[in-house]
């Protein structure tokens, strides 16, 4: 049997009024974005439900793409039928019959959103279940833990039957939470941090500090490729590429070795804050995790935070590395992240970085530098690239 629509359910959160509208609009947009270039389908919404009308497209191919849309709690391949009870019984049976493997137990759950419908939902449940039991002697009813639930929704806009429910990604639709600027390195953590922020509904831009020729063109390309991976969930990601060589060189010449990383991070934050202001991002995000490396202690975070006032979000702060790696595999960034192209931090890693830096000392050491001029110059020379969802070849082939 061919399915007619995919029924999409989304968090029945405490969303009311304007918020709900905004949430639904953003979700419709995300769903359209992932399907548009591949299928001729129609997306519409109606009172807390969303439908993808398939018009002959393959339900499973469409659902594969819905699995990457944040804000969807679950979805079901569904047939749309005439509302008369005989048709509902017949079609429900047909649907159960084609399930592979065949369920051993089932229950019918019907919802009568259209209160004008003459039969009450309990009665619909009973009639449909009886019809299925008569036709399929091997199957029985289990109200508590059925192998399969046959869903019948009787709504004003149509009557829908489905018996398969697939988990969505959860989270919030991209775009409802405002914009965040992600500090994206070539490592494992920051792409995961970006993905987690996308999950909470932000629009993502990324900033990368590049130290050519200490770091190679390939290292920058790797960052583009990582940003490209994130477009799978977030749509276009604008990447701000900051030339960082002059600043790193100045720090290395003028500041004590054990404070190199701390001071370098403070510059990254200052520059990121300026770029965030220019692009209207409300917060920065990093891939830091407490205690993971020397520069990720509370003292270090404090010393780094001190130079800016924009919030820094650290979605991985309480996560173990193994769990971060797990996510990076799931989102397919791991293999890229472990490619051995040096990033600017590995090139400048001092032997004994301070683990508990003092803000007072960082300020003192920075007196040897013209901080404002260095920051302004780097911001002025920052280049913006649009990383789009287009297949990667189109970006990579340019280099
Ligand atoms: P990652 O795996 O994300 O590189 P990490 O474990 O290597 O993180 P650090 O090198 O200490 O940790 O970096 C901490 C965070 O600082 C990164 O997660 C990232 O958000 C940011 N960061 C580091 N280097 C850069 C860079 N060159 N450009 C942009 N952001 C950076
Ligand atoms: Mg790193």
Tens digit of each residue's pLDDT (9 = 90 or more) over 305-343: 999 999 999 999 999 999 999 999 999 999 999 988 766
Query: Which superfamily does 179-394 belong to?
Result: HUPs (3.40.50.620)
Q: How far is the CA of 69 from the centre of ligand 1 (A)?
A: 26
Please check if 182 is assigned to a binding site: no
Residues of the chain with pLDDT under 50: 393-399
User: In angstroms, rounded to a whole number, what is the distance separating the alpha carbons of residues 375 and 244?
Assistant: 10
In the chain, which residues fall in CATH 3.40.50.620? 179-394
Report the atom number in ligand 1 closest to the C-alpha of 207.
29
Q: Report in angstroms the alpha-carbon separations of 182 from 75, 242, 313, 336.
A: 30, 13, 9, 18
CATH 3.30.2130.30 fits domain 5-167: yes
Own/partner long-range contacts of 55-62 (Cβ < 8 Å, ≥24 apart): 56/2, 59/2, 59/3, 59/6, 62/6, 62/35
Which atom of ligand 1 is nearest the CA belonging to 296? 11
Identify the nearest ligand to the CA of 193 by its number: 1
Residues in CB range of 76: below 8 A, 6 or more apart: 6, 7, 9, 151, 162, 163, 164, 165, 166
What is the spatial distance between Cα 207 and Cα 270, in angstroms, rounded to a whole number?
12
Per-residue pLDDT at 397? 38
Measured CA to CA in angstroms, residue 93 lies from 78, 98, 127, 195, 201 at distances of: 13, 9, 11, 41, 39
User: What are the structure tokens assigned to 49, written together?
Assistant: 């439900």
pLDDT number for residue 277 = 98
Q: Which ligand has the minimum distance to the alpha carbon of residue 190?
A: 1
CATH 3.30.2130.30 residue spans of the chain: 5-167
Q: Is 45 strand, coil or helix?
A: strand
Q: For residue 191, give the ligand 1 atom closest to its CA.
A: 3
pLDDT in tens, 169-179: 999 999 999 99
Protein residue with least CA distance to atom 7, ligand 1: 187
The pLDDT assigned to 15 comes to 65
């Amino acid at each position: 049997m061919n399915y007619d629509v995919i029924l999409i359910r989304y968090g029945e959160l405490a969303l009311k009024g304007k918020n709900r509208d905004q949430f639904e609009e953003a979700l419709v947009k995300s769903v359209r974005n992932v399907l548009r270039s591949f299928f001729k389908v129609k997306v519409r919404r109606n009172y807390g439900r969303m439908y993808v009308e398939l018009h002959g497209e393959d339900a499973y191919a469409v659902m594969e793409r819905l699995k990457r849309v944040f804000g969807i709690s679950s979805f079901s391949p569904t047939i749309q039928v005439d509302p008369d009870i005989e048709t509902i019984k017949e079609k429900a049976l047909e649907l159960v019959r084609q399930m592979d493997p065949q369920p051993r137990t089932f229950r019918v759950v019907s919802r009568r959103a259209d209160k004008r419908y003459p039969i009450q939902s309990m009665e619909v449940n009973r009639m449909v279940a009886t019809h299925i039991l008569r036709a399929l002697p091997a199957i029985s009813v289990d109200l508590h833990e059925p192998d399969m639930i046959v869903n019948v929704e009787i709504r004003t806009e149509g009557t829908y039957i489905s018996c398969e429910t697939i988990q969505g990604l959860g989270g919030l639709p991209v775009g409802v939470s405002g914009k965040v600027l992600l500090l994206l390195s070539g490592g494992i953590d920051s792409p995961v941090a970006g993905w987690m922020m996308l999950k909470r509904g932000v629009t993502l831009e990324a900033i990368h500090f590049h130290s050519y020729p200490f770091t190679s063109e390939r290292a920058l390309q790797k960052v583009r490729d990582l940003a490209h991976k994130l477009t799978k969930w977030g749509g276009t990601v604008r990447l701000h590429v900051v030339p960082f060589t002059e600043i790193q060189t100045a720090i290395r010449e003028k500041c004590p070795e054990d404070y190199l990383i701390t001071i370098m991070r403070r510059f990254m934050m200052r520059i990121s804050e300026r770029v965030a202001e220019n692009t209207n991002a409300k917060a920065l995000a990093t891939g830091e995790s407490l205690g993971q490396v020397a520069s990720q202690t509370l003292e270090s975070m404090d010393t780094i935070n001190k130079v800016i006032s924009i919030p820094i979000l650290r979605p991985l702060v309480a996560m173990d590395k193994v769990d971060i790696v797990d996510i990076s595999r799931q989102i397919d960034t791991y293999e890229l992240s472990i490619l051995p192209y040096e990033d600017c931090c590995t090139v400048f890693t001092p032997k004994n970085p301070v683990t508990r830096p003092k803000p007072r000392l960082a300020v003192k050491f920075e007196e040897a530098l013209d901080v404002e001029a260095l920051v302004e110059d780097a911001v002025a020379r920052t280049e913006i690239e649009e990383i789009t969802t287009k297949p990667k070849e189109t970006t990579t082939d340019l280099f």
